[in-house]
Amino acid sequence: MQNEIVKLLKKEGKLSEKTIDEISNIEIGDFSDLVRELGKEETEHIKREESSKNLNTKYIGKDIYIFNEVMSTNTIAKFLSMNGVGNGAVVISEKQTKARGRSGKNWESPLGGVWLSIILNPNVNHSKIPLITLATGVAVENTLKRIGVKNAEIKWPNDILIHGKKVCGILTEAITSFNTIESVIIGVGIDANISIENFPEELRENMTTLNDEIGEKVDENLLIKLFLEEFEKISEQFINEEYETILKEWRKNSYTIGKIVEVHEPFSKPYDGYVLGISRDGSLVVEKIDGTLEKVISGECIIKK
């Protein structure tokens, strides 16, 4: 994390021309004011005043940091969370150069997408973290409805699809201390106004963008505003332990339930199964070929048919 913060500040001219090796001896917390200052400067495409204009939230997005380019908004959000930035703060970047998805996979984040992370202090047990990811998926799906996308679906555990193609990914990371959750960082990447040609050829077949689906350019600032509003609604339900309400919405918009999938779990051999549903803890309930039932707590499912 330290080298990433230092590189960001050097690139934006917030540090002298000392080498990174010299600077790395400084306590990383000493850079927090510089990062916050940088996140309040003007950017070319994402505009704070437009993203937050008439924002109908109590706490989500009341503190917004916007950057021209970072390696990962989740890393910046983690850093800020560990250095005094509180609940509901949002980190946005016009581009990400080394973003990652689940299992460390690269996440392409060129100009034209919405790349953001939210700092949340939910005060919950670690076992509830998967539900935050599912709740975020519902928030994204509701946001897309508000801009006219009626056929978005949620693929377990962290993707949003349109016509079976990925348009959004979610990465949730917990910051813990002595088995206590200090904060949760929810990263969201939405392919808004991006040409599919900007993605590696091997990814294009399974990806789409809002621009392609709607047939016109999407207002990225409006998309951010609407998402922050929908996220606060769903996070309030989460905080109030209205888990079944969240799961009901997730099930209603699920792409995964009723599909035959190939399940990949950590430290286990892949297996095929039929997705029966989702349990109250957010686990996927799969019927294996031999008729036994399996709860998939973490991992990935590849849709076969």
Q: What local confidence, expressed as pLDDT, does residue 25 receive?
A: 62
Task: Please provide the DSSP assignment of 248-279 as one string.
Answer: HHHHHTBSSTT-EEEEE-TTS--EEEEEEEE-
Q: What local confidence, expressed as pLDDT, does residue 181 receive?
A: 86
Enumerate the β-bridge partners of residue 91: 65, 117
Q: What local confidence, expressed as pLDDT, does residue 70 receive?
A: 93
Q: What local confidence, expressed as pLDDT, does residue 81 receive?
A: 94
In the predicted model, residues of the chain with pLDDT beneath 70 are 10, 12, 14-29, 99-108
Question: 105 φ, ψ to 5°?
Answer: -70, 145
Q: What local confidence, expressed as pLDDT, does residue 243 receive?
A: 95
pLDDT digits (tens, 9 = 90+) for 145-188: 999 998 999 999 999 999 999 999 999 999 987 778 889 999 99
Nearest to 164 by CA among 194, 113, 205, 134: 205
What span, in angstroms and rounded, lies between the C-alpha atoms of 164 and 179? 38
Q: What local confidence, expressed as pLDDT, does residue 177 receive?
A: 77
Q: Which amino acid is it at 248?
A: K
Reading the block at residue 51, the tokens are 């993203």
Reading the block at residue 145, the tokens are 């409805």
Total residue length of the chain: 305
pTM of the entire predicted model: 0.91
Sign of CA dihedral 81, 159, 197, 203: positive
Burial of 88 (C-beta count, 10 Å sphere; 0-12/13-18/19+): buried
Q: What local confidence, expressed as pLDDT, does residue 26 receive?
A: 64
What span, in angstroms and rounded, lies between the C-alpha atoms of 46 and 43? 6
What span, in angstroms and rounded, lies between the C-alpha atoms of 219 and 221? 6
Task: Please provide the DSSP assignment of 190-243 as one string.
Answer: E--S--GGGS-HHHHTTB--HHHHHSS---HHHHHHHHHHHHHHHHHHHHTT-H
